[in-house]
Amino acid sequence: MPTTEANPSTATTTQTCPLCGAALDPENPNACTQCDWVAKPDGHQPGGTVRDKIAVCLSVIPGLGHMYKGHRLTGALYMLGAAFAIFAAFVASTATAGFGILLLPLYWLGIMLQVFFVEDLVLAEARKK
């Protein structure tokens, strides 16, 4: 009587998505087609990299940190936006007895937070090579 034994070398194991449980594509097991799950790259550090921290420090001049991370157009737009933010803060300060100037640190803080979390294009290009 013939027995049906599964050959372990020919058996394929399918990986499932940790979020929704759907079967992952064998060609791209790092992303789920059913939900938005994507595996984190190996070099991902939860506290940010040294380059992220340098970019935040460079963002004292708005846009410079973005340029450092490879986002040249975005950095130039943030630099231009800083001029408008300064103008708007001074106009708001004349109408609010000086309190409108407090809008300016909010602009800087927003730029610094955004540059910390944006993808580093320079580092991504170096990884491809």
| Residues 86 and 32 reside in one and the same domain | no
pLDDT in tens, 54-66: 999 999 999 999 9
What pLDDT, on the 0 to 100 scale, is given for residue 76? 96
What is the residue range of 79's domain? 50-128
Q: Does 81 lie in the same domain as 18?
A: no
Q: Does one domain contain both 57 and 92?
A: yes
Read off the tokens for 109.
């803080």
- Contacts by residues 68-73 (CB-CB < 8 Å, ≥ 24 positions apart): 68/122, 69/115, 69/118, 69/119, 69/120, 69/121, 69/122, 69/123, 70/120, 70/121, 70/122, 70/124, 70/125, 71/118, 71/121
Same domain, 57 and 116: yes
Lowest mean pLDDT among 7-16, 51-60, 69-78: 7-16
26 with 56, same domain?
no
Least confident of 10-14, 20-24, 90-94: 10-14
Q: What is the mean pLDDT of the chain?
A: 83
pLDDT at 10: 45
Alpha-carbon span 108 to 26, nearest angstrom = 44
* 5, part of any domain: no
64 belongs to a structural domain: yes
Question: What count of Cα atoms within 13 Å lies in the side-chain half-sphere of residue 78?
Answer: 23
For residue 59, being part of any structural domain is answered with: yes
**What's the pTM value of the predicted model, to 2 decimals?**
0.62
Concatenating the DSSP letter of every residue in 81-121 gives: HHHHHHHHHHHHHHHTTTGGGGHHHHHHHHHHHHHHHS--H
Average pLDDT rounded to a whole number, residues 91-109: 91
* Domain tally, the chain: 2
- 37 shares its domain with 58: no
Q: CB count, 10 Å around CB of 9?
A: 5
* pLDDT value at residue 41: 65
Beta-carbon count within 10 A of 88 CB: 15
Residue 83 lies in a domain: yes
Which range, 12-26, 35-49, 64-78, has the best average confidence (pLDDT)? 64-78
Q: State whether 116 and 90 are in the same domain.
A: yes
Assess whether 28 and 77 both reside in one domain: no
CA 92 to CA 87: how far, in whole Å? 9
